[in-house]
Amino acid sequence: MKIRFFAVVALALFVTACASIDPTTISRPAGSAEYTGNRQALVERGRELWNDPSIGTSGLACQSCHVGNAQFRNTFDQSYPHPVAMASGRAGLDTVNAEQMVQLCMVIPMENNPLPWASEELAALTAYIEDVVQPEYQND
């Protein structure tokens, strides 16, 4: 089962590795509204979404690629915004913030549309990455 899972992850990343995406797809449009809410509630909702394989169409959850993966250590050790190879190679962006990273992952490995800019889901995943995921990598 574990080998099959990693084969699915590798295939999903390979299939999506070739096409470029428009950087405006993952960059907040000027003047667009952000979801506002209680930060702790957003972090808790973000934790749920981080572990939810139904958030995209690839069957992957965010944690599928990020938990325990030393490959991401170099970028997660840096504060946002920071360079990310996938953002540079696929969208031509030198650096991304946490929100752009969520959108990039939604479009590429999750094989879905970007989350709506004013959505609770985008705010929640961004808050979870900023408050939990990145600090956990930095404290390892």
Mean pLDDT of 98-106: 95
1 against 40, higher pLDDT: 40
pLDDT tens per residue across span 21-63: 999 999 999 999 999 999 999 999 999 999 999 999 999 999 8
59: left (phi over 0), alpha (psi -120 to 50) or beta: left
Would the pTM of this model clear 0.85, i.e. be above it?
no
Q: Where are the domains of the chain?
A: 2-20+35-139
Q: What separation, in Å, do the N-terminal and C-terminal C-alpha atoms of the chain show?
A: 28
pLDDT higher than threshold 80 for residue 9: no
Q: What does each C-alpha distance from 57 to 15, 52, 63, 105 come to in angstroms? A: 14, 11, 15, 12
Q: What's residue 67's pLDDT?
A: 73
Specify the CATH class of 2-20+35-139 in words. mainly alpha
